[in-house]
């Protein structure tokens, strides 16, 4: 079981365009819930996302996106069982610009 960063490394390796570790920036996790408590510690909590929740992003230039839906061994979210995701990609129409 790979962590998300390992999945990203495998992804760029199979893409075969000369990218390497330094080309992969830190990941963003929109759906994981890790609050910071008053004692300064981080704790894994049950997720607060659910069916119908979404994140919409707009790219202002050409980009490469790697998506990884990977469980973490130390994260009890969803009973250690990742759930499916859906993503949509579209080109803007002239009125969207």
The model's pLDDT over 87-97, given as tens digits with 9 standing for 90+, comes to 888 887 766 55
CA–CA distance, 35 with 48 (Å, rounded to integer): 11
40: three-class secondary structure by DSSP: coil
For the segment 67-89, the average pLDDT, to the nearest whole number, is: 72
Instruction: Give CA angle at 67 (11, 73), nearest 5°.
Output: 90
Torsion of CA 38, 43, 46, 49, to 10 degrees: 80
Q: Which range marks the domain in which residue 86 is found?
A: 1-97
Residue for token pair 């704790």: 43
pLDDT exceeds 90 at position 33: no
* Domains: count for the chain: 1
**pTM, rounded to two decimals:** 0.56
């Amino acid at each position: 079981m790979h962590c998300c960063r390992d999945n990203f490394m495998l992804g760029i390796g199979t893409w075969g365009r000369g990218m390497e570790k330094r080309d992969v920036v830190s990941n963003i996790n929109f759906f994981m819930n890790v609050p910071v408590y008053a004692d300064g510690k981080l704790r894994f909590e049950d997720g607060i996302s659910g069916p119908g929740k979404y994140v919409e992003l707009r790219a202002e230039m050409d980009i490469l996106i790697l998506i990884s839906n990977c469980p973490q061994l130390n994260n009890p979210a969803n009973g250690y069982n990742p759930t499916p995701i859906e993503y949509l990609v579209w080109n803007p129409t002239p009125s969207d610009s």
